[in-house]
Amino acid sequence: MSTSLSRPLSIEKPHSTTYRPDESWSANDALYGLGTLLLCFLFTQSAWTLVIRPHAAAVLQQVVVVTSADKVQHAVHQLRSIFVILKDYEQQTAITLTLWSFLLLLRQGQAVRRSRDMLVRDFLQLGDDRVVLPEDARLASRPIDDLPPAERDMFLPRLLGIALNRFGATRSVQDAADSVRDECEFEVSSYDAKLSMVRFTAWAIPAVGFVGTVRGIGAALQEAQGAMGGDISGVTLGLGVTFNSTLTALVCCILVMFCLHQLQQAQDRIVLDSRTYVERRLLRRMRVM
């Protein structure tokens, strides 16, 4: 006579709940950042070598003779050309960092757009008059579990899944609402962390302009002896480097900061809209009998 006691017992191991960081996202982010930086450098280096600096040299060779009131003639260079303004290395570096910032912002903007597209979909398919009980939480989350991994890990499906899991485990609507609020705060922090490199470039661009300012002032001071003899062309060119690098850096910084704040506003809106989506379509329908 065989009994169940004679069989070896098999103990099912519980699933690990240890948090593991998304290493694939970090690796892809690093590769994207390095690749786009290299691409921007190659683009600006080619443009400056083939277009900007040859045109700037041609403009600087065009000397205009100006006669002053005391009948003294002076040779004046055409320094207000766009090619002369952009010809130096500081301006090239500022433009490179600006283009890199735009590509980084574009990637984050595409992620926000994909999250925005999620708001028009009905993930739960509950209908108009159906309520969600704690016993129904697992069944209600099944459409979310059936999503492809790329969509399931996005913000709104993840937010719905967290609310349903917490409601099914604790049988408390308040706990589900608290979990939604905590996840929204975490998402805001995640968005903020992903923009850290753009904030660095927004700081580095004016710093590069100040480097050009110092270099231009130093070059102008080296030509001060010639200016005392009547030739102020060296001083003029040195001061031109100073003002041109500062002008370019400030304009680039304004553009980067404007796009950065626009993206941050879009990210804040997607978090608020996603929270409103969960409150209206899920939390208000939760009931505890």
C-beta neighbour count of 71 within 10 angstroms:
6
What is residue 56's predicted lDDT score, i.e. its pLDDT? 85
Distance CA 284, CA 171 (A): 14
What is residue 243's predicted lDDT score, i.e. its pLDDT? 81
- Local confidence band at 124 (pLDDT 50, 70, 90 cut-offs): confident
Distance CA 211, CA 219 (A): 12
Tokens 């059936």 appear where? 146
Torsion angle defined by CA atoms of residues 205, 210, 211 and 214, in that order, rounded to the nearest 10 degrees: 170
| Across 242-253, average pLDDT | 88
Higher-confidence position of 218 and 236: 218
Q: Phi, psi at residue 49, to the nearest 5°?
A: -75, -40
pTM comes to 0.79
- Containing 216, the helix (H) or strand (E) segment is helix 196-222
Which stretch of 57-71, 103-117, 166-180, 205-219 has the lowest confidence by average pLDDT?
57-71
Distance CA 234, CA 226 (A): 8
- Containing 65, the helix (H) or strand (E) segment is strand 63-67
Distance CA 134, CA 164 (A): 8
Q: Phi, psi at residue 213, to the nearest 5°?
A: -60, -45
- Residues in Cβ contact with 145 at an 8 Å cutoff, skipping those fewer than 6 apart: 152, 161
Per-residue pLDDT tens digits for 76-108: 556 667 888 888 888 999 999 999 999 999 999
- Local confidence band at 5 (pLDDT 50, 70, 90 cut-offs): very low
Contact 102, 259 (CB under 8 A): yes
